[in-house]
Structure 1
Amino acid sequence: MIRKYSYGQVFKTESVPAALPAETGAMPYMAVDEKEMSLTRTMDPEDIVYGLGENVRGINKRGWIYESKCSDESKHLEDRRSLYAAHNFIVVSGKATFGLFIDYPGILTFDVGYTDLSVLKITASDWNLDVYVIEGDSVTDIVSQFRALIGRSYIAPLWAFGNGQSRWGYVTAEDVREVVRKHREGGIPLDMVYLDIDYMERFKDFTVNRERFPDFADFVRKLKEENIRLIPIIDAAVKEEKGYPVYDEGIEKGYFCTDKDGKPFVGAVWPGRSLFTDMLNKEARDWFGDKYRFLLDQGIEGFWNDMNEPSIFYAEDRLSEVLEEIAGMREGGQNLDLPAFSHFQDLVGSLSANAEDYKKFYHSVDGRRIRHDKVHNLYGYNMTRAAGEAFERLVPDKRILMFSRASCIGMHRYGGIWQGDNKSYWAHILLNLKMLPSLNMCGFLYTGADIGGFGSDTTEDLVMRWYALGIFTPLMRNHSEMGTRRQEVYRFRDLQGFKEIIGLRYKLLPYLYSEYMKAVLDNKMMFRPLAFDHPQDGRCATVEDQLYLGDELMIAPVYEQNARGRYVYLPERMKMLKYTREGVFEEKILEKGDHYVQVGLSDVVFFLREGHLIPLSGGGQCVADVDFDNLSILSFGEDASYEYYHDDGVSKDYDNPANRKTLRA
């Protein structure tokens, strides 16, 4: 059961497509304090708090304070309070189990036992919000109801489940050709190469640098003949440059965000002085979305949206103030003592993503001017919505790959997300795992992390262990930052190990795609904490480094350097499957309980539940090579069966009953 409670003058975020009438009585479970603008609950010691989508720390969110504030935050550390997303959905599981969704576009704070270990307190920046209270038979039932409430999740094309290679630094067409050539020569499956900002003409959206990519459309066509898709990046900011058509049109039609005086707001991102399309203005959103046609017409079938929190390197007026004060320091002598030097550092640090700068520009919504900070978390959502709605107009019968960095609930209907600019840290393998169920709860199914880590120098063993998790996530992409160690797998010593791990992804594709599609269509979670399936097993409530994938598998990656294996807890009898560098499965039945499992560096270990089976293909060098009809089976137990979903992977006849059939051992 879902009940809605409305407070103040609610801004319509469209995160919830259907209109529910508001209740008039008191809200259950939470104490409402309109003066303090908060919702509060005293938690029982055993209560677990799940959700919040993309964020730091554990699957159980107790013990920290989180902000729903889309932030350009590259330090994914325990002391952070927000990352790139605002996913305002939680489930409290305990003696009373219920879900809460706060439909609110501004900054929201979730104090989940931080100030007081026993108190959950949610505080808004102003008191204009809808609160949905969801009750059900279980956590999974509550999640399923919520997913139905917010609408069907984005569905990616089948080829987007292949292996993707990316790096900020593929500057020319020849750089891309080398990546493809090295993968094919090494027998490493590959379906996508991503283009970061270097393909553009001086960082301008919807342009191509013709010197670096002389005949872009022909280049795209020839790569597609090799079953390789190019996936270009699109940034949120538009370069200020007369003669640049996107800028000129936006100025002429008034489609950019404005300052308090009604003039276009100028900030800076990659191109320097930049303007920001008013994504909350429907006309501006449609206009920006139609710009994707420039690349669609050249054969592009997928995009990734970036810098759309939106990221602001500096605002013009603040830069002037900081430079003026620094100039004054120079005139007064450069002998900076500790307080003066600290002030200097704070000055420079105040330039980027300054909270005050987000109060300096405005959106035009239905004839009203709304200050950006009041609706901040809607920007990335509506940028990706602009693209998704344009794709429906421009290529209505075709699926286009789309995922974004910034998001809030509602954007899940238009694209997936990647888990942001992580680092080459072993701890970030585990963070990748922990985010998966939280994101699934919030409707984000097409997701994954930058394998190997985006920032910092990686190591061969880190990349290999990360792939052993990444082959299970819908979005599978190796991505790294310019200036860091190159981490394409063909650059490392154990090419055979990487070849077999990535090859296993393609053998698992019939199962993985089937589970993804069923999770989308049936409002289920592809990845679940063990406690969701075993609520009476207290041990499962503490396990945060193992997940169920579908109803059939349990995954438990190795995430510590130099480890030769790991301990796993089995809440029931399972069959351990170890895929080795020889390309074969070793099988062993393990009873319920604790086990130490040896996992060689190039091994992939996962667990099959009793009474279940999974389908396997023969693999391939790209998704087009994979045979989804002539399948082999891995099974455990008598009378094992599996509901197998498959479609053409391109069109949108998702609900056709012919897409589902039962496989039996």
Structure 2
Amino acid sequence: MKFSDGNWLTLPGFEIMSPVQAYDPRAQEKAVSVYASPRDLEPRWAMLDVPLLTVRLSSPMEDVIRVSVHHHKGGAPLKPEFQIHEEEGVPVETGLNEEELWLQSGNLKANIRRGGDWGISFYKGGQRITGSGLKSLGYITREDGQNFMRDQLDLGVGEYIYGLGERFTPFVKNGQSLDIWNRDGGTGTEQAYKNIPFYLSSKGYGVFVNNPGLVSFEVGSEKVSKIQFSVEGEKLEYFIISGETLRHVLQNYTALTGKPALPPAWTFGLWLTTSFTTNYDEETVMSFVDGMKERDLPLHVFHFDCFWMKPLHWTDFEWDEAVFPDPRGMLERLKEKGLKICVWINPYISEQSRLFDEGEQHGYFLKNKDGGVWQWDRWQPGMAIVDFTNPEACRWYGDYLRELVDMGVDSFKTDFGERIPTDAAYFDGSDPHRMHNYYTQLYNKVVFEVLEEKLGKGEAALFARSATAGGQQFPVHWGGDCSANYDSMAESLRGGLSLGLSGFGFWSHDIGGFESTAPADVYMRWAAFGLLSSHSRLHGNQSYRVPWLFGEEAVDVMRFFTKLKCRLMPYLFGTAVDASKLGLPAMRAMVLEFPEDHGCHTLDRQYMLGDSLLVAPVFSEDGQVDFYLPSGTWTSFLTGEIMQGGSWLSEQHSFMSLPLYVRPGSIIPVGAVEDKPDYDYADGVVLHIFAPEEGKEMRVTVPDTKGQPALTVAAVQTTGKLSVKVEGAGARAWKVLLRSSKQASSVEGGITESTDQGLLVMPNSGVTELLIQY
């Protein structure tokens, strides 16, 4: 939201009160505070008829500083609020002298200038990273009586801003006006399903605005050297988040708002859906499932979209008996084929649903201000919305989910949750404007906790579309309604990378696009991208997405990349474990892994899959792709070709290939199973070692399917000798493949054979340490 008319004037209808003086500064043991005055208060007359802003700095955890500002504090507390995970006993230093009031937490320091030149500055390791200067902080009144709070933080020369949710607009947010307001706008507009009031800076810090309602950002778009954020009301609170690197900043942000749960291993396999408005019954479903098996296409999850329920009855959690006369038996038959089951749900209840009268009678729906049920005809006729602030409504809604789990359902696609009204009343008195974005948090939490209760901790997984800050705790999320073309494929990736830089660990998208039907080339290129994403789903709108409908070559492509993903599961699930523990995304924007390389700061058509694999999807029919390799010796995982980084490359790829490069000094564990994602990753694993760097230790942990360490591998090269140590192997078989060497002069503790890709070392039984000379 803009308030300025150029550099000097204010837009008509607004008045802005900005502080010029820090008055009565106070340094306490764990916090500092000051009154921010719009005029000099030294003359006693100046203390009359003066508004003040109260500014308080504190620290909820090390390397994080909270900035709390209010004009009038006496208003009733507003709900909901984000859950903030504060640490106890945070070591904080505070101080006060003639020039400044300051607070330091870890390597982050904030100071407030004393005297008549208002300003807050933030320092990381002694270097100023940003700050709020004269006329930046403000209390704003509009002629209609509406009030706002805003601050403007400095945007430095060459500084880039990322994140703010799953945004499909340009990856670097500089120059954009962005409203944090969940909307169902597809992937081709400025609207977003997942709006997160958190951004990352290329200068190595993050900012989280602690308000679940509408936060309006102007990223160099109102004042070109400022990032402005504004909220409605009398209070503003934000956190400056530091860390040694961008990775650490993201770790600190997710420590504050919640780490992603670890999805079950089976969710990383291929998902196939009925698509949305297609015709389907059990015969259709089984023809898809059997068709995949006949073509040797590994399939792991089958999803039933909306029409598993009767049209106009959504949501009633009741199988359409005219189409599925024996749902329990059908699910058992699908389970016998080794599949997990997901079904579509949403939190909207049609007036035709069997649930409507129950919900109305017991007060389980959002209400109009007159006490009646809030309804409209968008999506479903007479639709009501479940009120998840009512504990009894949560139990009621959850009981229907529990029945489905008992029937054999393993997961729920929690669709919608964006079109939440601002003129409705909530059971707990929540403010409807603040609930618009936050509603999805309650919705997904209820469903996720039912799955945890019924299936056990570690077995819950959603396929969710909408989210707000903290929603990363309930994975998995997917990118919403995209189109079947290369432009939409690229915009989907931009959205996923932005979401990853907003604290979300796991993300998916509709392979081949949702709207319309993709040409075969788009489908095949998207398949490679989709199966090198954290989660992989075939889904569409009016047409099916089984690969044989796109030609036999599409079948071959789908088979190759699905099997490749299964073989990579020891590496991918290790990446997932890191995501859940550290709060890092599985699919990482290049800037997150290589912040020191300015060539990576704007890249949005490639990404790192975990620490070590670089993926550059192909966005053209002819297979031409340009991508950037950071410095070092990179190896193609698919061909073994070695390339020196530090420059852009241009390659031509068939549909069975794409740039998939391994970071120098990496160990990639490759599994022995290619037809499913959940197996004993350590048994028969081949440890691919790429471009060892002299004296630098390489490490990797191969987890089991519960996320616990199964193998721990360490390797270090010194003067042509590679020492490899494997712990936890037990009686399991494992191999080492040195991908940067073609021959060995001697090997201790194993049997050696030469391969086209390098040196293969097969240890004798019980051997856990190898010395390879080459």
Shorter-chain TM-score: which interval?
Answer: 0.7 to 0.9
> Which of 675, 691, 704 pairs up with 1:637?
691
Which whole-Å deviations, capped at 9, do the CAs of 1:220-279 have from their partners, x for residues lacking one?
Answer: 12211211122100112012248x2x3233222211100010111112344311111112
Gaps spanning 5+ residues in structure 1: where? Answer: 312-357, 580-584
The answer on whether the counterparts of 1:517 and 1:645 sit within 8 Å (CA) in structure 2 is: no
Q: State the distance in 1 between where 2:377 and 2:111 align.
A: 48
Change beyond 3 A, Cα 1:359–1:144 = closer
Q: State the distance in 2 between where 1:626 and 1:648 align.
A: 7
1:16 matched to 2:84? The reply is: yes
Equivalent position of 1:330 in the other structure: none
Q: State the distance in 2 between where 1:248 and 1:289 align.
A: 17
Q: CA deviation at 1:516?
A: 1.2
Q: CA deviation at 1:625?
A: 6.5
Equivalent position of 1:500 in the other structure: 560
1:518 matched to 2:569? The reply is: no
Equivalent position of 1:335 in the other structure: none
Equivalent position of 2:38 in the other structure: none
Q: State the distance in 1 between where 2:487 and 2:371 align.
A: 46
The answer on whether the counterparts of 1:384 and 1:415 sit within 8 Å (CA) in structure 2 is: no
Q: State the distance in 2 between where 1:628 and 1:213 align.
A: 41
The answer on whether the counterparts of 2:522 and 2:621 sit within 8 Å (CA) in structure 1 is: no
Q: State the distance in 2 between where 1:14 and 1:107 align.
A: 13
Equivalent position of 2:200 in the other structure: 91
Q: Secondary structure at the match of 2:627?
A: strand
> Where do residues 88-487 of structure 1 align in structure 2 (5 Å cutoff)?
88-94=197-203, 97-166=204-273, 167-168=275-276, 169=278, 171-202=280-311, 203-241=314-352, 244=354, 246-310=355-419, 358-365=421-428, 368=429, 370-397=430-457, 399-482=459-542, 485-487=543-545
Q: State the distance in 1 between where 2:710 and 2:502 align.
A: 26
The answer on whether the counterparts of 2:213 and 2:435 sit within 8 Å (CA) in structure 1 is: yes
Q: State the distance in 2 between where 1:286 and 1:442 align.
A: 31
Q: Secondary structure at the match of 2:568?
A: helix
Q: CA deviation at 1:16?
A: 2.2
> Which of 127, 141, 150 pairs up with 1:38?
150
> Which of 490, 498, 514 pairs up with 2:548?
490
Q: State the distance in 2 between where 1:359 and 1:593 align.
A: 50
Q: Secondary structure at the match of 1:542?
A: coil
The answer on whether the counterparts of 2:349 and 2:356 sit within 8 Å (CA) in structure 1 is: yes
Indicate the structure with greater helix content.
1
Q: CA deviation at 1:660?
A: 5.5
Q: CA deviation at 1:282?
A: 3.2
Equivalent position of 2:65 in the other structure: 3
Superposition TM-score, scaled by structure 2 size: 0.73
Change beyond 3 A, Cα 1:609–1:641 = same
Q: State the distance in 2 between where 1:486 and 1:284 align.
A: 36
Change beyond 3 A, Cα 1:425–1:143 = same
Q: Percent identity?
A: 23
What is the RMSD computed on CA atoms of the aligned residues? 2.5
Q: State the distance in 1 between where 2:458 and 2:160 align.
A: 41
Q: CA deviation at 1:105?
A: 1.9
Change beyond 3 A, Cα 1:206–1:302 = same
Q: CA deviation at 1:121?
A: 1.3
Equivalent position of 1:71 in the other structure: 183
Indicate the structure whose relative CO is greater, using CA pairs within 8 Å and at least 6 residues apart: 1
Structure 1 stretch displaced more, 108-117 or 83-92: 108-117
Q: CA deviation at 1:437?
A: 3.4
Which whole-Å deviations, capped at 9, do the CAs of 1:165-213 have from their partners, x for residues lacking one?
Answer: 1211253111211110111111111111211110013333311112211
Q: Give the counterpart letter for 1:471 in structure 2.
A: L
Q: Give the counterpart letter for 2:252 in structure 1.
A: Q
Change beyond 3 A, Cα 1:375–1:130 = farther
Change beyond 3 A, Cα 1:15–1:478 = farther
Q: State the distance in 1 between where 2:458 and 2:200 align.
A: 35
Equivalent position of 1:325 in the other structure: none
Equivalent position of 1:553 in the other structure: 613
Change beyond 3 A, Cα 1:463–1:576 = farther
Q: Give the counterpart letter for 1:487 in structure 2.
A: R
Q: Secondary structure at the match of 1:34?
A: strand
The answer on whether the counterparts of 1:11 and 1:129 sit within 8 Å (CA) in structure 2 is: no
Q: Give the counterpart letter for 1:526 in structure 2.
A: A
Equivalent position of 2:28 in the other structure: none
Q: CA deviation at 1:462?
A: 0.7
Equivalent position of 2:635 in the other structure: 576
The answer on whether the counterparts of 1:382 and 1:411 sit within 8 Å (CA) in structure 2 is: no
Which whole-Å deviations, capped at 9, do the CAs of 1:102-127 have from their partners, x for residues lacking one?
Answer: 12121121111223433311122334
Change beyond 3 A, Cα 1:398–1:48 = closer
Which whole-Å deviations, capped at 9, do the CAs of 1:581-608 have from their partners, x for residues lacking one?
Answer: xxxx443333432322221122132111
Q: State the distance in 2 between where 1:132 and 1:238 align.
A: 38
Q: CA deviation at 1:626?
A: 7.3
The answer on whether the counterparts of 2:262 and 2:458 sit within 8 Å (CA) in structure 1 is: no
The answer on whether the counterparts of 1:162 and 1:192 sit within 8 Å (CA) in structure 2 is: yes
Q: State the distance in 1 between where 2:302 and 2:677 align.
A: 14
Q: State the distance in 1 between where 2:630 and 2:169 align.
A: 24
Change beyond 3 A, Cα 1:659–1:621 = closer
Superposition TM-score, scaled by structure 1 size: 0.84
Q: State the distance in 2 between where 1:637 and 1:570 align.
A: 15
Q: Give the counterpart letter for 1:629 in structure 2.
A: D
Q: Secondary structure at the match of 1:403?
A: coil
Gaps spanning 5+ residues in structure 2: where? Answer: 1-62, 93-102, 104-109, 113-119, 122-130, 141-147, 715-723, 725-735, 737-774
Change beyond 3 A, Cα 1:170–1:152 = farther
Change beyond 3 A, Cα 1:534–1:621 = closer
Q: State the distance in 2 between where 1:629 and 1:441 align.
A: 34
Structure 1 stretch displaced more, 591-600 or 254-263: 591-600
Indicate the structure with greater strand content.
2
Q: CA deviation at 1:530?
A: 2.6
Q: CA deviation at 1:70?
A: 0.8
1:661 matched to 2:712? The reply is: yes
Change beyond 3 A, Cα 1:528–1:625 = closer
